[in-house]
A and B are shown apart, each in its own frame.
Chain A
């Protein structure tokens, strides 16, 4: 692998667009913009146009062309070169006229005029061009599949140009090429051979996207250097990116040489401004293709580029129809389900079929729902963490996971291909599909891993590949590639889910609003209800007292006693109303968490309770110093007050005690479990679950100091508001222990 790295780096650095040389089958004239003064020429001018370079440099272009031709060139400068080139030009040499195709373009501030000799004076004839391409284009359009079209193109290009071998390369996502169509009489076919991406370095790919056509008539040419070497205006090498004569990289020449190719021509195939492939033409002897023929080939390449999308689209038409129908099922399931998960879980097989996967995982919050064959939950979580920064537009796709993520080596058999969708980062919603490893045999055109030569001095020299013989490689750790249509289906699914999630968020928001409103209504209802209940109650109470005051003598002892009972009952009813009101408010009052020193708080509670119940002789035990925790001070105060006063009340022992302490949790970062223990009357086991119910009392009204029966319900509410839990252990006649926590317990 290290070899390939060096090769790539070196090749990628070669400045192939500024070689300072051209191929010698034409001449290059560099003109200063406005004046058309010749400032740089190739050194082969004498041979091609009959004027030595020194006779041209510094001269006006009129030294070569008559006024009419100069006018033609100047008109050309104001127009779009594409539509003008080539210009029909001729240069007088002695008595003879030499005819040329003139190809002109701007580069920086200068004009490049390239002249390629024509054998005879011939005009580019549109009708001729039309006849040449019409049949070809029709055949291309009639072909049903991409392969068929490619076959048409290689045949037609070969017919038009006469090259010995015409091929179409297609590049895959990683830039490696494969010959998908070929027309040749040569003995060795190249069809289906693969070529590593390093065969065409990055900057060469870039030039392929700038120039649709590139011709090398003879790889054994002697390059013609430019005179002067640099652009005299900028003193920089001249940018020859758009030049048709630009000299070829020596590495590429060597490469062609190794392939026994003497002449080559390549036509770019582009899709969405990306290099999709090449039409490559090879010939074993020198071969020059005139500009007008090249134009026809270029045109075929352009039409084919346009047709690519159409052909690829119709390629998997059945498969795509199937995908569409699956998507419709998702739309239905998701739009009917309340939560995105519910909808997905119903459609497990569809989920796999959607992208032709063998396994999938639905992640939502803490939930992990595997479908089909998938790695373990821990492996998927680790993979997700690795993948998150690598998501591109919420998507990640690879066909060879272990190459980039070595930990996946252990599960590459089921998950070499991964396609992941991020639906919501915040909610941790992900969909991940898996494809198994497919061990495939790739026929390489030569060993792709050995492009570097070690020289005698031990240094490395990148070199083009020498062998183009079939070299088979077994590729491991790869799954079938994800097709663009499958990735598109996944992306569409994502927007569908996002739509559902957004709609649910909207509904949730409006439900929350409703809830808040009804809470507020309930709040005021509780007050109004309590007010309306208390008013008649107060009336009964007061009138009973009036009667006692005004008619005590008439009523005698018995009547007064009944009125006293009436008064006591009204007071009791008021207590109940107040408890109910308090309880209903407790659920809604905002929890104000703050650091609270529980030790001080409990001491205070004990102190207050001792004052209000001075008659009870009780020993308070605090085995540990209680910690400081984050909680709502007022509510926790009430919690301890309720529990401790219960412990004090329900005790018939002579030596009463109440112990308040805590048990540390195993996870020390968590709040401990608190408890309030007594040696009181205890609770029968059958009553244990009833004691937290509101107004549920286990003892007579006047036993143990009485009470409304709301204290423990309120205690439980306070604990629950804090996210904690309360429970009780008790042995009748020996005592009870109330345990509680004040934070949510960790999910294990």
Chain B
């Protein structure tokens, strides 16, 4: 049985509709995962580096779900920065995007993404994908100690 508190899930997603769908499915999942949403790359990096509005928070996410095509600093850049940061690189990142461009997939894995999921349009498949995602990352795997300050 899991005793430790369930770590935070950081969702970097600019689309309200996509976020709502994701949130809806997460809420219905048997594991209640706390969610933090950022709508763009700058916000996500500020959150992760605890700068700006996020200077007061004292916890880091256990998993990052990252959309690639974001306004401003896009997902590829966010991923690159996370994976080059000694403190952040241990946090698993799952890219969740519409793009099935082989170049994007190749680049993300080259940068060190932990998983790449193409957003399905099919609702049933979306449900299955989100369920699997939560189950896999929060039940099956053991995440690194998520730091609490």
- Segment 9-53 of B: residues with Cβ below 8 Å from A: 15, 17-18, 20-21, 24
Q: If the complex has contacts A535-B18, A546-B24, are A541 and B101 also in contact, measured as CB distance less than 8 A?
A: no
Q: If the complex has contacts A539-B17, A546-B24, are A528 and B119 also in contact, measured as CB distance less than 8 A?
A: no
Contacts of B126 in A (CB 8 A): 542
Contacts of A527 in B (CB 8 A): 99, 101, 104
Complex CA distance for A480 and B21, rounded to whole angstroms = 91
Contacts of B17 in A (CB 8 A): 535-536, 538-539, 542-543
- Segment 564-623 of A: residues with Cβ below 8 Å from B: 567, 570-571, 574
Number of chain B residues whose Cβ lies closer than 8 Å to a Cβ of chain A: 17
Select one of A528, A531, A534, A542 contacting B123, CB under 8 A. A542
Complex CA distance for A536 and B18, rounded to whole angstroms = 9
Select one of A528, A531, A538, A546 contacting B121, CB under 8 A. A538
Contacts of B84 in A (CB 8 A): none
B3 at the interface (CB under 8 A from A): no
- Segment 518-547 of A: residues with Cβ below 8 Å from B: 524, 527-528, 530-531, 534-539, 541-546
Contacts of A574 in B (CB 8 A): 121
Q: Are B123 and A539 in contact (CB-based, < 8 A)? A: no
Q: Are B122 and A528 in contact (CB-based, < 8 A)? A: no
Q: CB-defined interface of B110-138 with A at 8 Å, one 1/0 digit per residue?
A: 00000000010111001000000000000
For B17, B104, B123, the residue with the greatest tally of chain A CB atoms inside 10 Å of its CB is: B123
Q: Are B99 and A531 in contact (CB-based, < 8 A)? A: yes
Q: Are B24 and A570 in contact (CB-based, < 8 A)? A: no
Complex CA distance for A539 and B14, rounded to whole angstroms = 13
B55 at the interface (CB under 8 A from A): no
B69 at the interface (CB under 8 A from A): yes
B98 at the interface (CB under 8 A from A): yes
Question: What is the CB-to-nearest-CB distance from B104 to chain A, in angstroms, rounded to a whole number?
Answer: 8
Q: Are B99 and A541 in contact (CB-based, < 8 A)? A: no
Select one of A536, A538, A545, A570 contacting B119, CB under 8 A. A538
Closest to A531 in B: B98
Question: What is the CB-to-nearest-CB distance from B31 to chain A, in angstroms, rounded to a whole number?
Answer: 20
Closest to A537 in B: B121
Number of chain A residues whose Cβ lies closer than 8 Å to a Cβ of chain B: 21
Q: Are A541 and B123 in contact (CB-based, < 8 A)? A: yes
Closest to B21 in A: A542
Q: If the complex has contacts A541-B121, A570-B121, are A531 and B69 also in contact, measured as CB distance less than 8 A?
A: yes
Q: Are B122 and A535 in contact (CB-based, < 8 A)? A: no
Complex CA distance for A574 and B69, rounded to whole angstroms = 18
Closest to A543 in B: B17
- Segment 549-574 of A: residues with Cβ below 8 Å from B: 567, 570-571, 574
Q: Are B123 and A535 in contact (CB-based, < 8 A)? A: no
Complex CA distance for A544 and B126, rounded to whole angstroms = 14
Q: Are B69 and A567 in contact (CB-based, < 8 A)? A: no
Q: Are A567 and B123 in contact (CB-based, < 8 A)? A: yes
Complex CA distance for A537 and B121, rounded to whole angstroms = 8
Contacts of A570 in B (CB 8 A): 121
Closest to B14 in A: A535
Complex CA distance for A542 and B122, rounded to whole angstroms = 8
Question: What is the CB-to-nearest-CB distance from B88 to chain A, in angstroms, rounded to a whole number?
Answer: 26
Select one of B21, B24, B98, B101 contacting A534, CB under 8 A. B98
Question: What is the CB-to-nearest-CB distance from A226 to chain B, in angstroms, rounded to a whole number?
Answer: 90
Complex CA distance for A542 and B17, rounded to whole angstroms = 8
Contacts of A544 in B (CB 8 A): 123
Select one of A535, A543, A546 contacting B15, CB under 8 A. A535
Contacts of B69 in A (CB 8 A): 528, 531
Question: What is the CB-to-nearest-CB distance from B25 to chain A, in angstroms, rounded to a whole number?
Answer: 10
Q: Are A571 and B121 in contact (CB-based, < 8 A)? A: yes
Question: What is the CB-to-nearest-CB distance from A550 to chain B, in angstroms, rounded to a whole number?
Answer: 10
Question: What is the CB-to-nearest-CB distance from A149 to chain B, in angstroms, rounded to a whole number?
Answer: 78
Contacts of B99 in A (CB 8 A): 527, 531
Select one of A531, A536, A539, A571 contacting B122, CB under 8 A. A571
Question: What is the CB-to-nearest-CB distance from A462 to chain B, in angstroms, rounded to a whole number?
Answer: 82
Select one of A535, A545, A571 contacting B98, CB under 8 A. A535
Q: Are A545 and B123 in contact (CB-based, < 8 A)? A: yes
Contacts of B119 in A (CB 8 A): 534, 538
Complex CA distance for A546 and B17, rounded to whole angstroms = 11
Contacts of A536 in B (CB 8 A): 17
Q: Are B15 and A534 in contact (CB-based, < 8 A)? A: no
For B15, B18, B101, the residue with the greatest tally of chain A CB atoms inside 10 Å of its CB is: B101
Q: Are B18 and A538 in contact (CB-based, < 8 A)? A: yes
Complex CA distance for A546 and B27, rounded to whole angstroms = 14
Complex CA distance for A527 and B126, rounded to whole angstroms = 21
For A528, A536, A542, A544, the residue with the greatest tally of chain B CB atoms inside 10 Å of its CB is: A542
Contacts of B98 in A (CB 8 A): 530-531, 534-535, 538
Q: If the complex has contacts A531-B69, A534-B121, A545-B123, are A539 and B15 also in contact, measured as CB distance less than 8 A?
A: yes
Contacts of A567 in B (CB 8 A): 123
Complex CA distance for A438 and B21, rounded to whole angstroms = 94
Contacts of B101 in A (CB 8 A): 524, 527
Question: What is the CB-to-nearest-CB distance from B24 to chain A, in angstroms, rounded to a whole number?
Answer: 7
Question: What is the CB-to-nearest-CB distance from B100 to chain A, in angstroms, rounded to a whole number?
Answer: 8
Contacts of B104 in A (CB 8 A): 527
Question: What is the CB-to-nearest-CB distance from A251 to chain B, in angstroms, rounded to a whole number?
Answer: 84
Q: CB-defined interface of B74-111 with A at 8 Å, one 1/0 digit per residue?
A: 00000000000000000000000111010010000000
Complex CA distance for A571 and B21, rounded to whole angstroms = 17
Complex CA distance for A574 and B100, rounded to whole angstroms = 13
Complex CA distance for A347 and B48, rounded to whole angstroms = 74
Closest to A541 in B: B121
Q: Are B18 and A539 in contact (CB-based, < 8 A)? A: yes
Complex CA distance for A530 and B98, rounded to whole angstroms = 9
Closest to A540 in B: B17
Question: What is the CB-to-nearest-CB distance from A588 to chain B, in angstroms, rounded to a whole number?
Answer: 12
Contacts of B24 in A (CB 8 A): 546
Closest to B17 in A: A539
- Segment 48-71 of B: residues with Cβ below 8 Å from A: 69
Complex CA distance for A531 and B75, rounded to whole angstroms = 14
Contacts of A542 in B (CB 8 A): 17-18, 20-21, 123, 126
Complex CA distance for A535 and B13, rounded to whole angstroms = 12
Question: What is the CB-to-nearest-CB distance from A92 to chain B, in angstroms, rounded to a whole number?
Answer: 105
Complex CA distance for A534 and B126, rounded to whole angstroms = 14
Complex CA distance for A570 and B121, rounded to whole angstroms = 8
Complex CA distance for A571 and B124, rounded to whole angstroms = 12
Complex CA distance for A47 and B81, rounded to whole angstroms = 110
Contacts of A524 in B (CB 8 A): 101
Question: What is the CB-to-nearest-CB distance from A562 to chain B, in angstroms, rounded to a whole number?
Answer: 16
Question: What is the CB-to-nearest-CB distance from B22 to chain A, in angstroms, rounded to a whole number?
Answer: 10
Contacts of A535 in B (CB 8 A): 15, 17-18, 98
Contacts of A537 in B (CB 8 A): 121
Complex CA distance for A210 and B17, rounded to whole angstroms = 99
Complex CA distance for A543 and B15, rounded to whole angstroms = 13
Closest 3 CB pairs of A and B: A539-B17, A545-B123, A542-B21
12 A-B pairs within 8 Å (CB atoms) are namely A527-B104, A528-B69, A535-B15, A536-B17, A538-B18, A538-B98, A538-B119, A538-B121, A539-B17, A541-B121, A542-B123, A571-B122
For the complex with contacts A530-B98, A543-B17, A571-B121, 11 further pairs of A-B residues with Cβ separation under 8 Å are A527-B101, A531-B99, A535-B15, A536-B17, A538-B98, A539-B17, A542-B20, A542-B21, A544-B123, A546-B24, A567-B123
